[in-house]
Amino acid sequence: MIGQVAVTGRRLLLAMAIWLALAGLGVGSAAVFVRVSPFGRAHRADVLAFALLEAYLALLAALLATFGASGLRRQLGFHFTSSAHLTLALVTWVACLIAGTLLSAAFIPLLGQPPSNTARLLGLSFDPLFVLLVVVTVCLLGPVCEELFFRGALYGWMRGRLPAPVAIPVSAMIFAGAHVIVPLMPTLFVFGLGAAWIRERTGSTLNSFAMHATQNTVAVAVTYVLLSHGGGR
């Protein structure tokens, strides 16, 4: 066991239900705004960025409502452990990046060329508001929320019922499948393995967040460099 207070199935389901309700309300409101507002029609990319931000804020709100602020630390493991653990997390990220790239290349004949999610999103607009919203969401808010949910709530629930050698790959498969982009699943699966192992090894989702935030920040930085030189169009 990784030392956290066990997550119950009831709380996990409640968090998911609250998140789906809040996220659905936000996405629905954004769709209506685009339809009825001239500003919305003229700034569809900005509205999309707001909707993405709202979806992650809805997940954070759902987790806070379900577990409470103290529960994010005690049950979902979002706390500092040590500099050595953070270093281990970043080394693990590098290993996952290399292994995931190699595995994705091996699966190209079967799954096709992996698309760049980041390039698709960032290529929508260079409007300053859009860029600000996307960078904050993709580099910080998204990694926080996904780690709290996948390695905090979901993995915490699984570890109350399964041994680590089972919970780690199963949670990684769920993480990869939740992104619903088949060619990217090998890369996401490998990252999920590494992040769950770090959660198990260090007892902290702050350390897996460091991996996730680094991954997304590097992807955003590289993509913007390519787009600014015309390489991502």
- CB neighbour list of residue 190: distance below 8 Å, 6 or more residues apart: 96, 99, 100, 103, 172
What is the C-alpha R_g of the chain? 18
State how many domains the chain has.
1
For residue 221, CA distances in Å to 37, 118, 166, 196 come to: 32, 10, 35, 25
**1 inside domain:** no
**136 inside domain:** yes
Q: Tell me the C-alpha distance between 77 and 147, whole Å.
A: 10
**4 inside domain:** no
Tens digit of each residue's pLDDT, the chain (233 residues) = 455 567 999 999 999 999 999 999 999 999 999 999 998 888 999 999 999 999 999 999 999 999 999 999 999 999 999 999 999 999 999 999 999 999 999 999 999 998 878 888 888 888 899 999 999 999 999 999 999 999 999 999 999 999 999 999 999 999 999 998 899 999 999 999 999 999 999 999 999 999 999 999 999 999 888 887 765 44
**3 inside domain:** no
For the record, the structure tokens of 64 come out as 């806070």
Helix (H, G, I), strand (E, B) or coil at 224: helix
Q: Which residue has the tokens 């292994």?
A: 99
**188 inside domain:** yes
pTM, entire model: 0.93
**233 inside domain:** no
**180 inside domain:** yes
The domain containing residue 208 runs over which residues? 9-228
